[in-house]
Structure 1
Amino acid sequence: MVHCFSVLWAAPLHYCPVLLFLQSTIMGGKRKKSESEGGGNDDKKDKQKNEMLPSMIKNKEKRSAVHAKLKHEKKLEKCKKAKARNAAEKRALELGEEPPPKKIPRTIENTRELDETVCRPDDEELFAGNDADEFSSILKYGRTPKVLITTCRYNSTRGPAFISELLSVIPNAHYYKRGTYDLKKIGEYANNKDLTSIIVVHTNRREPDALLIIGLPDGPTAHFKLSRLVLRKDIKNHGNPTSHEPELVLNNFTTRLGHRVGRLIQSLFPQNPDFHGRRVVTFHNQRDFIFFRHHRYIFETKATKQTDSKSKKTKDVTDENISQEKVIARLQECGPRFTLKLISLQHGTFDSKGGEYEWVHKPEMDTSRRRFFL
């Protein structure tokens, strides 16, 4: 027995039937496991191939073909949804039911971040502050605004052209040459002349690039970046403004800061517009960019003819038409056209050294595209 076991132990492994059985079972299990894993990898590879983006394809012709195919499929799907929506609206009108509500598209404006400073109609503190702020003497008690417009010390050729158009936009505005006078001395002179505001047009490289609006006598001072300036002569089919006092339209100044900036702009214009002149000045705030437009408008009655569907079916009466009068508004832009971006709002009149700022725009404040301050 001892000799038999010694022979069995000394024999090679592939001659032992027990070890061969164990080895075959172990290798078979590994093979099945590898096959199962390989099958899962194949499924993953197929999914990756199906989810592959066109930009991941190296061949340019194949990439453009796949992109065109995906774009065509997306267009067909959009057309199907539009046809189904139109069919549902038509069916609802035929049955006398309410049509399905229209979907509101997602925009940056309606998905803006929540702001605690947004003004509400029932905000009593806001209305109480309006009666005691720096603009109440003009906006509440009807004081006539008088505006002084001047330039920076180093003026350009396009600056006076812009100022001449501002003079035609803002009533009771007067231009004074800057010369070498300091801005504080200009403020003292304006206070002595009983003026209400100062507008300074700053130019850089022969182009107006900033606007400074100073409220008198107690401020505030707003510094705006000026861009996309188009003068009246560069506007196609432009009109010439009249001497009537314009109507003022302020849009989307919703926050406390926007409300204050809107009241500062409003204090530049008289509060009794002349509607016979049909002039309108618009300051439209969108994504903290204030777009300025100046138009003349007119209302016209236009006769529209609608053919009756029943008269079309009858052969005898084919020329019966139903005439309706429709009132339309026509606009003619007078110019200029520019865009403002608020840089800072300062307490009191302009003071570059010891001034206290209410709000200053900084680059680290731009954390999201959906965050607005006005």
Structure 2
Amino acid sequence: MGSSNENEDKPDISEKIQHVRKIRNKHLRMIEFKKQLKLKKKIKKEERKKRRQQGIPKGVPKTLETLREPDQTVIKCEEDKEELQIDVTNSEFGSYFAKSYEPKVLITYSNNPSKKTWSFGRELCRIIPNAFGKLRKHIPIKKVIESCKREEFTDIVVVNENMKMPNGLLVIHLPDGPTANFRLSNVKITPELKRDYKEISTFRPEVILNNFTTRLGNTVASMLAALFHYDPQFKGRRAVTFHNQRDYIFFRHHRYEFKANGTKVGLRELGPRFTLKLRSLQHGTFDSKTGEYEWIISGRRHEMETSRRRFFL
């Protein structure tokens, strides 16, 4: 009886809000509406407190990530992880993870890059160990690939631009691919973050790859990891992070330091800062005409993006 009386005494907020919407005077309607919202928050707070006192565990919040559509390629159990480890060992990145070579990366640009694109490429050269920047000078990508193979480069990064702003990143793993094409956005170089580029030391950074949960995501993460040396120098206290969220890959570059006897960590962002969105993943090296694609996003309004809750990485 007590619980039923309690439910009867509890005000029905939704009905009251519907009643408020019928008030014609705009000023009075807004005052009453704010009162009902305040009351609604108060009731929710009391309910949370009551559940906490009763020891009821917190529910899972409804977000796009938690409501994600099922994907058969998501890595869930230990068996999937073991199978994935075998696939990585037998893939084009097997020799990198076996530490049989040191990465050597060429960073180049579209023809006649603007000042910001040039500065962005130079900062990538400072972040990625053993990276060399060079202008293309109208040389086709295929000829650049053949030249890099002869000079024993392991990867090529091409920074593309549109309207004097960097807008694309082409990553080619040598000698046999794959090739990833990314849309590049939200680029902030070090001066725009009000940081001094001299703070970037020459120590090799740690690489953090976060939230790549599918087989496609693992391939992309392996490509990004293979740009960096597999043996970080922890003395430099530098870390680069590729964080995947809703198929957007956010890049951050930090220097960290421990405080209060190692119980707290302080972070200082060094720059640059940018966001990647995968457009395609191609077997082999770059071939825009006859290349075979492992994954490609469709053209007009992205036909593959049929749902906001469907993610591929």
TM range (shorter): 0.7 to 0.9
Structure-2 change in CA distance of 1:103 and 1:237 (3 Å) = farther
Residues 1:237 and 1:285: Cα distance change in structure 2 (over 3 Å): same
- Amino acid across the alignment from 1:257: L
Q: Which one is further off, 120-129 or 221-230?
A: 120-129
Q: Which residue of structure 2 aligns with residue 128 of structure 1?
A: 86
Are 2:160 and 2:166, in contact at CA under 8 Å, matched by a contact in 1? Answer: yes
Distance 1:218 1:84 in 2: 59
Deviation at 1:65, TM superposition (A): 3.4
What is the CA distance between 1:68 and its match in structure 2?
A: 4.3
> Over aligned residues, Cα RMSD in angstroms?
2.2
1:371 to 291, 310, 313: 310
- Provide the rounded CA distance (Å) in 1 between the counterparts of 2:262 and 2:207: 26
Structure 1: how far apart are the matches of 2:102 and 2:20? 64
* Equivalent in the alignment of 1:202: 160
Q: Is the contact between residue 20 and residue 33 of structure 2 (CA under 8 Å) also seen in structure 1?
A: no
1:72 paired residue among 35, 42, 56: 35
Amino acid at match of 2:307: S
Task: List structure 1 runs of 4+ shifted beyond 4 angstroms.
Answer: 48-53
Structure of larger gyration radius: 1
| Cα distance change, pair 201–71 in 1 and its aligned pair in 2 (3 A) | same
Match of 2:95 in 1: 137
Give the one of 60, 67, 71 matched to 1:111.
67
- What's the CA shift string for 1:117-160, capped at 9, x where partnerless? 10133124322211110011111234100000101123212111
Q: Distance in 1 between matches of 2:72 and 2:104?
A: 35
| Counterpart in the other structure of 1:168 | 126
Q: Secondary structure at the match of 2:79?
A: coil
Alpha-carbon contact 2:195-2:271 (below 8 Å) kept: no
For 1:327, the equivalent position in structure 2 comes to 263
Partner of 1:272: 231
Cα distance in 1, alignment partners of residues 30 and 292 from structure 2 = 56
* Cα distance in 2 between the residues matched to 1:246 and 1:271: 9
* Superposition TM-score, scaled by structure 2 size: 0.87
Q: Which amino acid aligns with 1:262?
A: A
Q: Give distance in 2, aligned partners of 1:326 and 1:248.
A: 21
341-350 vs 100-109, which deviates more? 100-109
State the Cα distance separating 1:88 from its structure 2 match: 6.0
1:86 maps to what in 2? Answer: 49
Give the TM-score of the pair, scaled to structure 1.
0.73
Does 2:296 correspond to 1:357? no
Q: Which structure shows the bigger proportion of residues in helix conformation?
A: 1
Aligned to 2:136: 178
Partner of 2:241: 282
Q: Percent identity?
A: 46
TM-fit CA distance, 1:105? 1.9
Write the distance in 2 (CA, Å) between the matches of 1:369 and 1:50: 30
Q: Which residue of 1 aligns with 2:222?
A: 263
- Which 5+ residue runs of structure 1 have no aligned equivalent? 1-47, 93-98, 302-324
